[in-house]
Amino acid sequence: MKVALAHDFLREYGGAERVLEVLHEIFPDAPVYTTYANLDAMGENGKRFKSWDLRPSWFQKFPFANQLLSPFRIFAPLMFESFDLSEYNLVISSSSATHLAKSVITRPETLHISYIHTPPRFLYGYTTSFNYKKRWWTRIGGEIINHFMRIYDFEVSQRPDILIANSKNVQSRIKKFYRRDSVVIYPPVDLESIKYRVLGIKGKKKDYFLVLSRLTRGKGVDVIIEACARLGLPLKIAGTGPELKSLMFKVKSENLNNIEFLEWVSDEERIKLLQNAKALIVASEDEDFGITSIEAQATGTPVIAPASGGFLETVIDQKTGLLYDGSGQVTVESLVEALQSFDSQEFKIDDLLKNAEKFSKERFKKEILDLVDKNLKNYG
């Protein structure tokens, strides 16, 4: 059986790339077709993909490709349609918030399964890292382009034989926007690796709260900073992104000595930070899934999260964390209230670990292979 993988692009390392890694573990000989690959921009994480058979599109050689990747997403379908996948029996595409890997063209005899992290957020009114509405000319141009891209996104979403949603939350979006049924397979969390790194999990927690996230619009890190500032709570922020400088400026200008920026951290540091934190705090708007909340629970750390989106599937209120503000728009006041009530809550490590087990990498691999085995016999 010849297998190919298709992924939006490789320039950042997040949940979508972690899923791609495990898909590659399942099919280690599969080439990866993508619009663009810049492993150096991924820092230390780029080393994970150095030995892979990466096959970028024609856009890879385009002048200033790295700077033009975001605006050129309107041509992503053309990039994926340029690939010749006629030799493969199975193609698994991985489509996320910005590009359209699911638009690859396959033979009728080829089984095409598309893993949907979410329908493109910028097309359907969800918060994204790029705010094209802040200037009138980009707002007008963006709305016109997005109208035609929504039409095309619907059309190419009919191409895959099977759609996989990364959560029930995303499954409902797929039904709404694509009018298709989908199978839910939760993203994989490398629990064994976390267990290997975690020592003395039942030890006393340290005094700080933790943010572990890309620092982009919609992640609500500004809300978390304001809430912790009001209460004088120690907060460590691990992550990088376009909002880093503005957030650091806010903290410095307001002399918030209880807030510490750690920027990029290694996997080892990441797990240690999670293990020792009193709680992981998240304030994302319309979170697709929320894989970091599972990693926190796997280290024995509860999660303080909005009562909306994917967190309703990953955090058990009052048992593995606190869910607050189910209105869909997180406020400083609602988070302050949750933080004030947090210290009175007791969380059992066994409950946290048991909930995390539902999202293991082994479970993900089994469900993917079972889906392939069940449907591949009807193709080829």
Are 277 and 322 in a shared domain?
A: yes
Are 66 and 177 in a shared domain?
A: yes
Are 280 and 169 in a shared domain?
A: no
pLDDT, average across residues 283-312? 91
The domain in which residue 275 lies consists of 191-357
- Global pTM reads 0.86
How much is the pLDDT for 377?
78
pLDDT per position as a tens digit, 2-21 = 999 999 999 888 888 999 99
How much is the pLDDT for 365?
97
Are 309 and 366 in a shared domain?
A: no
Give yes or no for residue 206 having a pLDDT over 90.
no
Range of 7-16, 171-180, 205-214, 345-354 with top mean pLDDT? 171-180
124 vs 152, residue with greater confidence:
152
Are 125 and 265 in a shared domain?
A: no
Are 176 and 209 in a shared domain?
A: no
Task: Count the alpha carbons within 13 Å of 267 in the hemisphere toward its beta carbon.
Answer: 16
The string of DSSP codes covering 146-197 is HHHHHHHHHHHTTSSSEEEESSHHHHHHHHHHH----EE-PPPB-HHHHHHH
Are 64 and 124 in a shared domain?
A: yes
Q: Where are the alpha helices (DSSP H) in the chain?
A: 15-26, 65-68, 76-81, 136-156, 168-178, 191-197, 221-231, 244-253, 267-276, 291-298, 311-314, 332-342, 349-357, 361-376
CATH number for 22:
3.40.50
Q: Which residue has the tokens 């994480």?
A: 45
Element (H, E) at 32: strand 32-34
For the chain, helix (H) and strand (E) counts, in that order, are 14, 13
* 265 Cβ contact partners less than 8 Å away, ≥ 6 residues apart: 238, 273
CB 55 within 8 A of CB 32: yes
How many residues does the structure list for the chain? 380
Are 103 and 178 in a shared domain?
A: yes
How much is the pLDDT for 136?
47
How much is the pLDDT for 98?
60
The mean pLDDT value of the chain amounts to: 87
pLDDT, average across residues 367-372? 96
CATH number for 207:
3.40.50.2000
Q: How confident is the model at residue 230 (pLDDT cuts 50, 70, 90)?
A: very high
How much is the pLDDT for 141?
57
**Interhelix angle 221-231/332-342, nearest 10 degrees:** 50
Output the six-digit token pair for 212: 């572990």
Share of the chain above pLDDT 70, in %: 90
Are 158 and 276 in a shared domain?
A: no
Are 59 and 202 in a shared domain?
A: no
pLDDT per position as a tens digit, 244-260 = 999 999 999 999 999 99
Written as one letter, the residue type at 268 is: E
Output the six-digit token pair for 247: 């957030």
CB 90 within 8 A of CB 111: yes
CB 118 within 8 A of CB 172: no
Which residues, in sequence order, are bridge partners of residue 212?
238
Give yes or no for residue 243 having a pLDDT over 50.
yes
| DSSP structure class, residue 241 | S
Q: How confident is the model at residue 130 (pLDDT cuts 50, 70, 90)?
A: low
How much is the pLDDT for 192?
83
Output the six-digit token pair for 143: 């709305």
pLDDT per position as a tens digit, 63-78 = 877 777 776 777 778 8
Are 18 and 161 in a shared domain?
A: yes
CA separation, residue 347 to residues 2, 238, 350, 351, 360 (Å): 47, 24, 9, 8, 21
Are 146 and 176 in a shared domain?
A: yes
CB 360 within 8 A of CB 353: no
Written as one letter, the residue type at 116 is: I
How much is the pLDDT for 280?
97
Structural domains in the chain (count): 2
How much is the pLDDT for 203?
57
Measured in degrees and rounded to the nearest 5, phi and psi for residue 91 equal: -125, 125
Give yes or no for residue 317 having a pLDDT over 50.
yes
Which residues, in sequence order, are bridge partners of residue 317?
321
State how far the Cα of 187 lies from the Cα of 116, in Å rounded to an integer: 11
